[in-house]
């Protein structure tokens, strides 16, 4: 049954949430979540490796299950809900996009760094040719001035994107900055504007509501905040808030609450919360998926993960440069050892 909606929500726990559990989703977990989301009438369910199609690798993290199996499982049980995939050009290829389309995916979200929309052209055009709803996804949106963001969004629109998202990958934007960006895109673009938030500064809900007030009609959320860093805007809470505001999502809020409590919560090793590490992601403006990588590097080199993340932020490292985290940690460890040696020589 099709539902009347004022805006369309994409549930991203089965993609963004992959980061939070080190890409260990099973077919059974994805099947249970996707079925419940279909029964709750959530319009879009994003399923893929955290770094998009083809992301399973030593650099980004190896998946426990082939993502095409996960996609196929989700499509088979999602009812009228449409399954979406994320593609980062340079990681995911047109071949993988075509394979996902054959499995029944209905939406492709083509993601680039906020200043690199030009690399999305081939993937956007291919997605349109495959008959998929096509979204441009401008990540790390806090790293570009508004004028640059608008220019890059217009480029994605010209390539064929039917929606362009402002993606706060670091959870670093403040509500007034979200308003300014959504307003600027609404003034320039003819296509839909979307917003994807992270909760590293506890602002995902506030930022999402600011985006909606400025006219964004495509919104992302993750049940139980199952996403990178401190997670995304919590979907079941968002839907309840929007109902109180009189904004129609077409989603059954009780069924969504049940899915979050009974199916998604047990997947998390611990409840998502704003820890000192995830807080630093937003504070330093660092890609949310870097959190687990920084924690591992901190353990390997006996460092404070916050020091690694702050240095990553200072160097303006962006998604796709995960290998630099280990290099930075090794460099910080050498500096720490050198400082200790100097101090020992000085006072020893």
Is 196 annotated in some ligand binding site?
Answer: yes
277 within some domain: no
CA gap 289, 19 in Å, rounded: 6
Would the pLDDT of 292 be above 90? no
Q: Determine contact, residues 333/299, Cβ cutoff 8 Å.
A: no
Tens digits of per-residue pLDDT, 66-90? 999 999 999 999 999 999 999 999 8
Tens digits of per-residue pLDDT, 223-237? 999 999 999 999 999
For 168-265, where are the E strands, in sequence order?
192-196, 218-221
Which range (21-30, 57-66, 100-109, 193-202) has the least confidence?
57-66
Give the pLDDT score at 61.
64
> In sequence order, which residues have a C-beta less than 8 Å from that of residue 339 and are 6 or more positions away?
none
Query: 293 and 261, same structural domain?
Result: no
Is 293 annotated in some ligand binding site?
Answer: no
Would the pLDDT of 13 be above 80? yes
What CATH number did the domain enclosing 63 receive? 3.20.20.70
According to DSSP, the residues that pair with 135 across neighbouring strands are 109, 163
> In sequence order, which residues have a C-beta less than 8 Å from that of residue 308 and are 6 or more positions away?
294, 297, 298, 325, 328, 329, 332
CA 84 to chain centre: 13
Q: How many domains does the chain have?
A: 2
Query: 294 and 198, same structural domain?
Result: no
What CATH number did the domain enclosing 293 receive? 1.10.8.60
**Phi and psi torsions of 25, nearest 5°:** -60, 145
Query: 312 and 167, same structural domain?
Result: no
Query: 176 and 318, same structural domain?
Result: no
Q: What percent of the chain has pLDDT over 90?
A: 84
Would the pLDDT of 1 be above 50? no
Query: 64 and 128, same structural domain?
Result: yes
DSSP string, 219-233: EEEBGGG-SSTT-BS
Nearest to 312 by CA among 291, 333, 340, 336: 291
75 within some domain: yes
Give the pLDDT score at 3.
66
Would the pLDDT of 322 be above 50? yes
226 within some domain: yes
Query: 171 and 319, same structural domain?
Result: no
CA distances, 311 to each of 6, 142, 226, 229, 314 (Å): 42, 17, 26, 17, 5
Q: Which domain holds residue 316?
A: 289-347
Q: Of 267, 300, 330, which residue constitutes the final position of a domain?
A: 267
DSSP string, 26-66: -HHHHHHHHHHHHHTT-SEEE-S-TT-TT--BTTTB--SS-
Query: 208 and 66, same structural domain?
Result: yes
Averaged confidence pLDDT in the chain = 93
Query: 70 and 219, same structural domain?
Result: yes
273 within some domain: no
Q: Determine contact, residues 275/298, Cβ cutoff 8 Å.
A: no
Q: Of 267, 302, 327, which residue constitutes the final position of a domain?
A: 267
280 within some domain: no
Query: 307 and 217, same structural domain?
Result: no
Is 198 annotated in some ligand binding site?
Answer: yes
Tens digits of per-residue pLDDT, 147-203? 999 999 999 999 999 999 999 999 999 999 999 999 999 999 999 999 999 999 999
281 within some domain: no
Q: 343 falls in which pLDDT band (50, 70, 90)? A: low
Q: 59 falls in which pLDDT band (50, 70, 90)? A: low
CA gap 20, 17 in Å, rounded: 5
Query: 294 and 257, same structural domain?
Result: no
Which residue in 19, 23, 41, 123 is the catalytic one? 19
Query: 223 and 159, same structural domain?
Result: yes
212 within some domain: yes
Q: Is 19 a catalytic residue?
A: yes
Is 283 annotated in some ligand binding site?
Answer: no
Query: 168 and 89, same structural domain?
Result: yes
pTM of the model: 0.92
Is 347 annotated in some ligand binding site?
Answer: no
Is 48 annotated in some ligand binding site?
Answer: no
128 within some domain: yes
């Amino acid at each position: 049954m099709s539902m009347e909606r004022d805006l369309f929500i994409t549930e991203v726990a089965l993609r963004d949430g992959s980061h939070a559990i080190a890409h260990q989703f099973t077919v059974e977990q994805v099947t249970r979540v996707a079925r419940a989301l279909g029964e709750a009438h959530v319009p879009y369910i994003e399923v893929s490796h955290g770094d998009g199609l083809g992301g399973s690798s030593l650099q980004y993290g190896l998946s426990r299950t082939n993502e095409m199996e996960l996609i196929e499982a989700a499509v088979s049980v999602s009812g009228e809900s449409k399954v979406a995939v994320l593609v980062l050009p340079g990681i995911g290829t047109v071949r993988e996009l075509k394979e996902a389309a054959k499995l029944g995916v209905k939406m492709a979200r083509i993601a680039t760094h906020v200043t690199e929309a030009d690399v999305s052209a081939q993937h956007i055009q291919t997605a349109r040719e495959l008959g998929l709803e096509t979204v441009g996804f401008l990540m790390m949106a806090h790293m570009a001035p508004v004028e640059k963001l608008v220019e890059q969004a217009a480029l994605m629109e010209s390539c064929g994107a039917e929606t362009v998202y402002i993606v706060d990958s670091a959870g670093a934007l403040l509500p007034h900055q979200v308003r300014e960006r959504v307003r600027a895109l609404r003034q320039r673009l003819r296509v839909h504007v979307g917003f994807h938030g992270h909760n590293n500064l506890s602002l995902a809900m506030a930022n999402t509501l600011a985006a909606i007030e400025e006219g964004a009609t495509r919104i992302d959320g993750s049940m139980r905040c199952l996403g990178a860093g401190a997670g995304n805007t919590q979907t079941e809470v968002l839907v309840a808030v929007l109902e109180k505001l009189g904004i129609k999502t077409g989603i059954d809020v009780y069924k969504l609450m049940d899915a979050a409590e009974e199916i998604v919560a047990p997947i998390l090793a611990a409840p998502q919360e704003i820890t000192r590490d995830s807080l630093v992601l937003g504070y330093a403006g660092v890609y949310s998926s870097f959190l687990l990588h920084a924690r591992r590097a901190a353990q390997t080199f006996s460092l404070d993960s916050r020091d690694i993340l702050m240095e990553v932020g200072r160097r303006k490292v962006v998604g796709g440069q995960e290998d630099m985290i280990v290099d930075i940690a090794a460099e910080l460890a050498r500096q720490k050892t050198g400082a200790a040696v100097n101090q020992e020589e000085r006072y020893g």
